[in-house]
Structure formats: C-alpha cells, structure tokens
Structure 1
Amino acid sequence: MQTINTGNHRTEGSLIPGSLSRKKILLKKLVSELGNSCSADLGIDLVSMQSDEIFKWFVASMLLGVNTSQHVAIRAYREFEKAGLLAPERLLTADWQSLIDTLDRSGYIMYNFRTATGLIEATWTLNQQYQGDLNRLHFFANDEADLERKLQGLGERVTPAVVRPFLREMRGLWEKAEPPLAKDVLLALEKLRLVDTTSPVLALEELRIQWEDSGLNQTQLSVLETALTRLGRSYCRKMKCDKCPMQTECRAVT
C-alpha cells in the first residue's frame, strides 16, 4: 500500500496490487479513448515550450472560455489561424473590424465585441508587462497562486474559466502550473472508483502516483486530465451512460 504525502497530511491510498492492475488498464483505456489534448488537436506544440506556441494556446483558451459551444470556439481558432492572428504583434496591429469579422465567420455573433475586446486587452497588457511573452509571466510568478493571479491580471476577460483549462495543459511543462482538478474530473474519478477521496488536492496526488505507476508517464499527466474532463463533462454530467466508452467500468452501471 502506498502512502501519499501532501505536506501536512498523509493518507494511505488503495493502491494494492490487484486494484493497481485494474487502474493501470483503466488509465490506458481512458487515454486511448479520450486522451487527445485540446492543444494537440489544434496543432499547438506546447511541449516545445516556445513562447509563440504557448500564446496560441492562450488565445484558444480565451475563445474556449466564452459561454459558447466548443465547436464554435474551435472554428473561431481556425479562423484566427487562417487570418494570421495568433501572435501578439499581429493581434495588436489588426484592424478592429477584421477581428469582429473573423469572430462573426465562426459564429461568435453574440460575443464578438466582448471577445475581441478581451483578446486585445490581454495581449496589450502581456506586451506591456512581459514583452508579449507568457514564459516571462511564468518566470516572474512567485508560486502557483501568483501565477493564476498574474494571468487573470492580464484583463477582465481572463477569468478562471480561461485560466484553469489553460494551466491544465501547461501542467508538467511550467513548474508553477498546478491548477486544482476540475469538478468534471472529480466526478469522473468518483464514477470510475479511481481515487478514495473527494479532496481535489489528495485526488491529484493519488492520480499523479497512479499515472507514474501506469507506465504512461512518458506523456503529460494533463493528457489523462483531459480524458477525465471529457468523460465527466460529456458523459457523467449528462448521464449518457449508454454511449460512454467507459461504461463497463462505471460505478453507476456495474
């Protein structure tokens, strides 16, 4: 049985050989079925740690963080990509109407002005304070909490709904990128009986240990986190058990 050390707390997980074997199989199936990261799906190379690639993911996160469908947000990103609007200098020198038109083409009719304003404000602040470089912002952050504060400080539209998904895929790349597990992840973990706690902190530590023991740790933990997010959001929360790729392993079914 493994001991999870979380600073002031120590708890014993249920990683006995039998359950560990089951969890290894579960993790591999999760990654296989649902594990493509959103950034990778968009063709963004975060692993390179290049500032221009990280900025692309920031723009995508801004688009995904708006109260609209993921399909529309992805279409908007593709429109920005075609228009060459995925670099700070290009966004700051773009004609205002061209930004609105780009968002309109993707279906952002209700949020076009708000989204364009948010992108320009955040990019302008990033340029003024960190020379347009998100890696510099990370460098100057004192810790995980300060990193979130600095990102949200870029503009009014850089909300937790933008910052948390952005940081989720930076986990394992940026040292200070340690966002709490999302509610959808915790829901999926509970349904699959992968952890024995409802605490986001303890659940993350237990999940990290399982990830390292699974043999999948040659890729990012965020890949598993993305799979759990999709499972929780698209299946568990909507109770689409009959269509779920993990239904045979689910507490609600078995």
Structure 2
Amino acid sequence: MQTEQFKKNPVDFVAEQSGSYAFALGIDLNGLKSVEIYKWFLAALLYGARISEKIATHTWQAFKKHHVMSPRQVISAGWDGLVALLDEGGYTRYDFKTATKLLAVNQSLLSDYDGNLNQLHAAASDARDLERRIMASGKGVGKVTTQIFLREMRGRWRHAKPALSPLAWHAAEVMGYLAKHVENDARALEQLQIIWSNTNQAANKFPDFEAALVRYGLHLRHQDKRATQSITV
C-alpha cells in the first residue's frame, strides 16, 4: 500500500494531531531512564480513569508542579496530600479512590522493584507476564491503564506489546490506513507498523503514530456522541 492512497501521509497526520502523550507532557522515554518512565506511568494511572484527557493532564501537571514525580515522593505526600493534588487538577470525582490507589501502587513498586519500572520489565518473562505484573501492582490498575502505559513503551521495551486501541483502529480505518476487513487487532497493528516503517521512521517513534490515531479516534467518538444527541433532541 502506498502513502498516496491515504487521506494523509502518516508523518503529516502525526504533525497535525501531535505525537505521543508522553512527549506532549515533556517526558523523554527514549533513554529508558527510570525517572522518565515513572513519570509516564503516573500519567497513565491518571489517564486510565473515566475522566477527560484535559483533566488528567492538568492533574499530572499539578503533581509535577509540587515535585511529586517518584514513588517515594508519592508515598511522602500521603493520602491527604494526594487528594489535594488531585483536586487541584480537577480530578475531584475520583480523588479519594485514586489517592488510595496511588499509595498502594507505589508501595508495591517500592517493595517489589525498588521503585524502578525497568526492573519490573526485566523480571517479566514475556508480554503477557509484563501486563500481569503491571496489573498486579495495585487494585484499580486494569487493562486500560496498562495498555495506555505500554502503548508508549512499544518499540522501547522488548516485552511492551499491548493490543491496538479500538480508538486507534477505528481512526486508522477512517483515514484509509486500514481496510475495513482486517481480521484482528494483531494484524491491524502489524499493517500500521509496516506503513510507519515505509515512511522511513524509526520503530521507537511508532507510538507517535499510534497516539495520533488515538487522539483522532477520540475526536471521532465525540463527533458521534454529538450527532446522536442532536438526533435525540
């Protein structure tokens, strides 16, 4: 498949939609530094709730402003301090539950992996075990949060192989990157990676393409909701 058949060249599409969520937050995952990976993990914990992307981003920025960017800093903030940070970011609907989850998850990371997510990855035997270990880090860390986190570690961690997001899949179909009859998400992901490789982009930049598709997928979903509301009214 040639890029000329697409509605937009993948590189131009990424430039239009913006790249990875981690990059947008100022996080550099390329060097695989533990401190940077943790920053993204904290963001994924916030993005994983049923709350708007904007609120989750504002909340992560509140944590950054108050220098709560490591497992030990989260523990030191305490439950009341975490609730205050979550409220500052607008995360009020889930503040109590999320504060409790953050304390449990970070205590688990410190106890099991010395707070280093690279150690967690090194301990995993394969992709499935990696996902299991992440979800075992605390109650409330489910498949959605795990996939959000691992999506941007794809091409960086050997075992980071999450399923393609349905949002990205739908957006890829709308943009012409995928045909409607692709049989499963593994095949869809493989085709998208080939398309990205054909634009002479590095494999560790594929998360930029995937994130751009997720963003556009969210846009399409919001459009569908507005259309449904209009019909209802």
Match for 1:69: what amino acid? S
The equivalent residue for 2:10 is: 27
Structure 1, residues 139-190: CA drift from partner, whole Å, max 9, x if none?
A: 0101111110000000011111211011000001101101010111111122
Answer with 1 or 2: which has the greater Rg.
1
Matched, 1:203 2:188: yes
Matched, 1:82 2:65: yes
Shift of 1:239: 3.7
Matched, 1:53 2:4: no
The equivalent residue for 2:145 is: 162
Match for 2:206: what amino acid? L
Report how many aligned residue pairs link the two structures: 225
Q: How does the TM-score come out when normalised to structure 1?
A: 0.83
Q: CA RMSD in A?
A: 2.0
Q: For residues 149 and 44 of structure 2, what CA distance do their matches in structure 1 show?
A: 6
Q: Kindly indicate whether the alpha-carbon contact (under 8 Å) linking 1:24 and 1:210 is maintained by their aligned counterparts in 2.
A: no
Percentage of pairs with the same residue:
34
The equivalent residue for 2:171 is: 188
SS at match of 1:215: coil
SS at match of 1:194: coil
The equivalent residue for 1:224 is: 209
Q: For residues 92 and 161 of structure 1, what CA distance do their matches in structure 2 show?
A: 24
The equivalent residue for 2:229 is: none
Shift of 1:109: 1.7
Which protein is richer in helix relative to its size?
2
Map residues 236-247 of structure 1 onto 2, 5 A cutoff. 238-239=223-224
Could you list the runs of 5+ residues in structure 2 that have no partner in the other structure? 226-233
The equivalent residue for 2:230 is: none
Q: For residues 124 and 106 of structure 2, what CA distance do their matches in structure 1 show?
A: 18
SS at match of 1:45: coil
Structure 1 range deviating more: 152-161 or 28-37: 28-37
Q: Kindly indicate whether the alpha-carbon contact (under 8 Å) linking 2:19 and 2:211 is maintained by their aligned counterparts in 1.
A: yes
Q: Kindly indicate whether the alpha-carbon contact (under 8 Å) linking 1:186 and 1:198 is maintained by their aligned counterparts in 2.
A: no
Q: How does the TM-score come out when normalised to structure 2?
A: 0.90
Shift of 1:96: 2.3
Shift of 1:237: 5.7
Q: For residues 217 and 24 of structure 1, what CA distance do their matches in structure 2 show?
A: 22
Matched, 1:69 2:69: no
Match for 1:126: what amino acid? L
Q: Kindly indicate whether the alpha-carbon contact (under 8 Å) linking 1:184 and 1:237 is maintained by their aligned counterparts in 2.
A: no
SS at match of 1:181: coil
Structure 1, residues 76-112: CA drift from partner, whole Å, max 9, x if none?
A: 1111111111111111122321111111111122211
